[in-house]
Structure 1
């Protein structure tokens, strides 16, 4: 391996390590805040930082306001119910099993979003007031974690690019943002909004698998053409 490539791999590893550390720090702050809220407290960002043994400056980079911290900490409490729903969904790598897991993902995520709509709208408000940064995640990663938990077995089948595209697309069809469009702009009822979210997620999954199969067919045809020439 050339020195240049070795340096590229080292740099990529360093970036990933820093990203993971940021996520861990963010999680520690949220867990600490959630524990304090459970005790009946309404902690400030400074109080949470001190309790978590994280520098106050770092804590304010993640959570510029007390409202944003309190909202995110409250929403973090949704994690167990979401993970339980995915654990109860069919396991396995078959298309049928993954379809069932995507259905479970959408159903539970949208029901939780509807049940916690005021909190989620507050989170949207607090997030858009602060421009996203290349160095700090403006929002949590719960949604991406849940999506990847549902469709993880597709990573090898779709390839890195196809898998990443499907994760991104499913992120657009779930959560409060999808509900804002479907309810505020389209005027759908809660039940109708959930139904459309299901339809979109299934369509995306079906198209992703079809795209992969078409790509494999083209690759086989290309090999045959090369052998015949």
Structure 2
């Protein structure tokens, strides 16, 4: 019996150690991902500022404004066109999205906030969707030979993810970290240019039917997460 007790304690300690290591590794990965997102955002923000006057900035100008190297820019944006399109789309969508998510009436309503995000993005789709189609063409193919982007790093700006996380913020305290992350990943599939393109090109939906389908799918995902929580 004493032998079994010692063995049990040893196993328990080993499992606790493994859990601690897993938690630490998860924390490090999260920190690296957050840093990549900040770097990418700094690059895009610099491109937006420099493009505001109507001129096309060079890679050197953007690198200087973002306080990064040319190499860092090419790690995230293999082509200048990709960066400039991304920056233009952000400048178009970010102000109205920020206003929609700041509505105090929706402060505690995750489903309502996601609905508001969808309505706002679709209201601006006549201008942003053509940019989205061009950006997808630039990012859908494998990276060019010699690309040094971090493995598994997102190849597009995480703007959509950040908006969805803001919209679902009321659920963060009621869902586990894993469940919250899964909800954001699922919503990423149904809220964005790819979903619009599929509904228009494959289903042939008009804008009203498109909005109804996207809103219905997003609500179903949010409700499923709430039910699980």
CA positional deviation for 1:118: 1.0
TM-score (ref. length: structure 2): 0.81
Q: 1:208 to 1:30 in 2, by over 3 A?
A: same
Which residue in the other structure is 2:206 paired with?
Answer: 189
Distance in 2 between residues matched to 1:18 and 1:202, nearest whole Å = 31
Structure showing the higher helix proportion among its residues: 1
Instruction: Kindly indicate whether the alpha-carbon contact (under 8 Å) linking 1:49 and 1:56 is maintained by their aligned counterparts in 2.
Output: yes
| Contact 1:107-1:194 at 8 Å conserved across structures | yes
CA contact (8 A) 2:43 2:73 kept: yes
Gaps of 5+ in 2: 1-12, 144-148
| Preserved contact between residue 186 and residue 221 of structure 2 (Cα < 8 Å) | yes
SS of residue paired to 1:158? coil
Question: Residue 156 of structure 2 corresponds to which residue in structure 1?
Answer: 139
Aligned partner (choices 89, 105, 127) of residue 139 of structure 2: 127
Counterpart-to-counterpart distance in 1, 2:55 and 2:65: 13
TM-aligned CA distance change 1:162 to 1:24, over 3 Å? closer
SS of match in other structure, 1:90? helix
Partner of 1:73: 87
Distance 1:41 1:210 in 2: 50
SS of the residue aligned with 2:176?
helix
* Secondary structure, counterpart of 2:78 in structure 1: coil
Structure 2 residue 99 is the aligned partner of structure 1 residue 116: no
Query: Which of the numbers 156, 166, 169 marks the counterpart of 2:186?
Result: 169
Deviation at 1:10, TM superposition (A): 4.4
Corresponding residue number in structure 2 for 1:14: 28
- In the alignment, the residues of structure 1 paired with residue 163 and residue 68 of structure 2 have an alpha-carbon distance, to the nearest angstrom, of 27
Question: TM-score, normalising length from structure 1?
Answer: 0.81
**8 Å contact from structure 1 (residues 61, 136) kept in 2:** no
Deviations 1:132-158 (A, max 9, x none): 852532111111111111111212323
The structure-2 alpha-carbon separation of the partners of 1:43 and 1:159, relative to structure 1 and needing over 3 Å to count, comes to same
Trace 1:1-229 onto structure 2 (pairs within 5 A): 8-77=22-91, 78-88=93-103, 90-93=105-108, 97-131=109-143, 134=151, 136-212=153-229
In 2, Cα distance between equivalents of 1:53 and 1:83? 26
* Unaligned segments of structure 1, at least 5 residues: 213-229
**Relative contact order (alpha carbons < 8 A, sep ≥ 6): 1 or 2 greater?**
2
